[in-house]
Amino acid sequence: MKTIDDLQVAGKRVFVRADLNVPLDGTTITDDGRIRAVQPTIAKLAEAGAKVVVASHLGRPKGAPDPAFSLAPAAKRLGELLGTDVAFATDTVGESAQATVAGLADGQVAVLENLRFNAGETSKDDAERGAFADQLAQLADLYVGDGFGAVHRKHASVYDLPARLPHAAGDLIAAEVTVLKKLTEDVKRPYAVVLGGAKVSDKLGVIDHLLEKADRILIGGGMAYTFLKAQGHEVGISLLQEDQIPAVKDYMKRAEERGVEFVLPVDVLVSADFPDLKTKAPAHPTVVASDAIPADQEGLDIGPKTRELYADKLKDAATVFWNGPMGVFEHPDYANGTKAVAQGLLDSEAFTVVGGGDSAAAVRLLGFDENAFGHISTGGGASLEYLEGKTLPGLAALED
Ligand SMILES: Nc1ncnc2c1ncn2[C@@H]1O[C@H](COP(=O)(O)OP(=O)(O)O)[C@@H](O)[C@H]1O
Ligand SMILES: O=C(OP(=O)(O)O)[C@H](O)COP(=O)(O)O
């Protein structure tokens, strides 16, 4: 894989596929970790005299413009971090993008509007994705892949575009791969994996692989309820991946056969209403045993007994990989499970890797020192799939 240092970028238009998918409260960025992580790559290219064209997705808009998912706040923040003006195109490949890129002087930076405002970006149809990649290719001479959080996506800007331009890996991707590689080669045991979050259908599949690798798997967050349901418990209106119940039953059976310890919540915090994340008005959740979730309520965090149990299960681990918050940590009434796991990681002697946009943001927003963890990865799904040994489209595309 070539790196930026192998490219002659002076005077060239360099397309940087970044992952600027940051958490937003309206137009306010609540955690800019992903922008800070790619900023050195952008600064390096600009200093070397490139015309830098930064592109990213944000959230999951449906292939058409949606102001709630505009990258404008991220472009503004990038400018503040770089200490220079950053131009912003109000579309991705249209007139605004073309004029903005044409107006760049050497060393200047522009950000394009959300890639996913275009249906071609995420299309499953090769021709449709390819046509969008052709349009993106018109905007650049060289391609730098540095959006580690999205390398597991076979999307136009991640997979098809680098095939159309001379390409290299950015410094963030290179650094992420170096650390995660260690976890695939020489993992110190006991190896514990903590999984939570909301992208349940995306991430359940990795358990298949983890059963071969991990000694202990702790499940929390929105992920937990499919497991509780598979055990025969009612989960009310909690997040549930009904179609995955047979697979989950199989995971639990295989874990038992292989001697992999599967740890599920013993109690949870429930409420009839999803909390108001804007006002943060008190949510008044109740604690119930995980086999007694009322039919009209949803589980929104692990409970106090589970917090203690999970901290205990992390205590003697030598390696821990954690992806996905234990609850809706964005609301203070549902942040304690995530806090307990973060603290549990710090209290253990383990080498700890925390992966995922929201998991990394949670660690920082809940007041933990990010430097106290072994590695904070900008990718959750991406790091899980990397550990799984899968070929990641966005990494494969960067190879020579
Ligand atoms: N029990 C739950 N029900 C609904 N959402 C949850 C629950 N637990 C956690 N979440 C949500 O999961 C989101 C993060 O999930 P995900 O995107 O999978 O993590 P990451 O970005 O770290 O990979 C957070 O916004 C959090 O509010
Ligand atoms: O937030 C992301 O992934 P993550 O939640 O697994 O860390 C990436 O930006 C990828 O986003 P996607 O899962 O909508 O493709």
Residue 323 pLDDT exceeds 90: yes
Helix (H) or strand (E) holding 379: none
Binding-site annotation: residue ranges for ATP: 203, 299, 330, 356-359
Dihedral angle computed from the Cα positions of residues 204, 210, 211 and 216, in that order, rounded to the nearest 10 degrees: -100
Average pLDDT in the 319-346 region? Answer: 97
Taking the centre of ligand 2 as the mean of its atom positions, its distance from the CA of residue 10, in whole angstroms, is 32
pLDDT at 207: 93
> Which ligand sits closest to the CA of 361?
1
CA angle 343, 348, 351 (to 5 degrees): 105
What band does 90 get if pLDDT is binned at 50, 70 and 90?
very high
Query: Does the interface predicted TM-score (ipTM) exceed 0.95?
Result: yes
Return d(Cα 307, Cα 23) in angstroms, integer. 25
Is any ligand 1 atom within 6 A of the Cβ of residue 300? Answer: yes
Residue 186 pLDDT exceeds 90: no
Average pLDDT in the 236-244 region? Answer: 97
What band does 276 get if pLDDT is binned at 50, 70 and 90?
very high
Return d(Cα 172, Cα 3) in angstroms, integer. 11
For the ranges 113-122, 182-191, 318-327, 335-344, the lowest mean pLDDT is seen at 182-191
Distances from the Cα of 19 to the Cα of 34, 173, 190, 380, angstroms: 7, 11, 32, 12
Q: Which atom of ligand 2 is nearest to the CA of 378?
A: 7
Q: What percent of the chain has pLDDT over 70?
A: 100
Average pLDDT in the 250-260 region? Answer: 96
pLDDT tens by residue, 46-74: 999 999 999 999 999 999 999 999 999 99
pLDDT at 139: 98
Contact 75, 88 (CB under 8 A): yes
Residue 183 pLDDT exceeds 90: no
pLDDT at 168: 98
Is pLDDT larger for residue 57 or for residue 183?
Answer: 57
